[in-house]
Amino acid sequence: MRNMSDKLTVTKLQENLYRIQEDSTFMNVDAYLICGQKQAMVIDGLGITPELYECVKNITDLPFFMVVTHGHPDHAGVGMKEFIEAGCQVYLSPDDEELVKEYAGDVDLSVVKEAKECFDLGGARIKSLPMPGHTQGSVMLFWEEEKLLFSSDAIGSGSLWMQLPESSSLEEYLAQLKELELFLEQVPDVKIYPGHSWQVSAYIKEGCDFMDCEYVKELIRMTTDIIDGKLVGEKKEIPLDFLKDIDIRCVTGNYVTDYCYDVRKIHSKKEV
């Protein structure tokens, strides 16, 4: 249900880059708009607040499309539906389509495609980096020229949810994180814009709305220590029905302030 206080807030982060934040009773979540010379890309479809499509049209005259980073309802919500209904191309991993159907129900995904390896917006090349873990179909997007990584929920925003039924085991996730670390070694001055940037400011560093390589390195250290049994999380209750049977633990670091995982999904299932 939409509350009258729900709204979209647009922030120009730099030339040709905008954050569109949904401040709602449901979730504070970010979409991003990147404008090239030929076309524009919207990253994520927000949750319940309508008029993302109108909002983007008011910012740019370029043709635009949307890449949805994963199938959770705060990223693949009403904005994604608006884009599909307006005939805009929407990209989403097939691995997360079931999730969208579970949460959104009536949305027509027949026109949705899997993200290309690289989108050329004209002077702005955006590479798609699959990052299964938080969900199986999670992707991150990397703007090559500006060295900006849009990570959505794939590595969290200080808070990280890996306890979900659709999340990977921590062993599988660690392999993905190490691949990401290798990639980021080529871009040590990367800025990482997550899907819930307010958390960065609230929990990691006041006034800051992005993360950096140190965050990823800490995430790798913490995940390794959990797997090795050197780090054991506190028991955590999250009052959501679909999590009631999950034994959730939570660990806290300097940057990764609230890392939730399922104690029964630390190790990968062994082949019998």
Q: How far is the CB of 11 from Zn ion (least distance, A)?
A: 21
36 vs 79, which CB is nearer to Zn ion? 79
Using DSSP's 3-state secondary structure scheme, residue 179 falls into helix
- Minimum distance from residue 192 beta carbon to Zn ion (Å): 16
Question: Which is nearer to Zn ion, 157 or 223 (by Cβ)?
Answer: 157
Nearest distance from C-beta of residue 181 to Zn ion, angstroms: 21
The nearer residue to Zn ion, 72 or 81, going by C-beta atoms, is: 72
Among 18, 35, 66, 72, binds Zn ion (CB under 5 A): 72
249 lines the binding site for Zn ion (CB under 5 A):
no
Q: Which of 13, 11, 10, 71 is closest to 45 using CA atoms? A: 71
Distance CA 162, CA 170 (A): 8
Whose Cβ is closer to Zn ion: residue 16's or residue 28's? Answer: 28
* Polymer length of the chain: 272
Q: Which two tokens stand for residue 173?
A: 């996730």
Query: Shortest gap between Cβ of 71 and Zn ion (angstroms)?
Result: 8
Tell me the DSSP string of 21-44.
EEE-SS-EEEEEEEE-SS-EEEE-
With CB under 5 A as the contact rule, the residue among 44, 82, 96, 153 that binds Zn ion is: 153
Q: Which is nearer to Zn ion, 36 or 194 (CB)?
A: 194
E-assigned strands of the chain? 7-14, 17-23, 28-35, 40-43, 64-67, 90-91, 118-120, 125-130, 139-143, 148-152, 159-162, 191-194, 234-235, 248-251, 258-262
**Span interacting with Zn ion, options 2-10, 68-76, 92-100, 196-204, rule CB under 5 A:** 68-76
Where does this chain bind Zn ion (CB under 5 A)?
72, 153
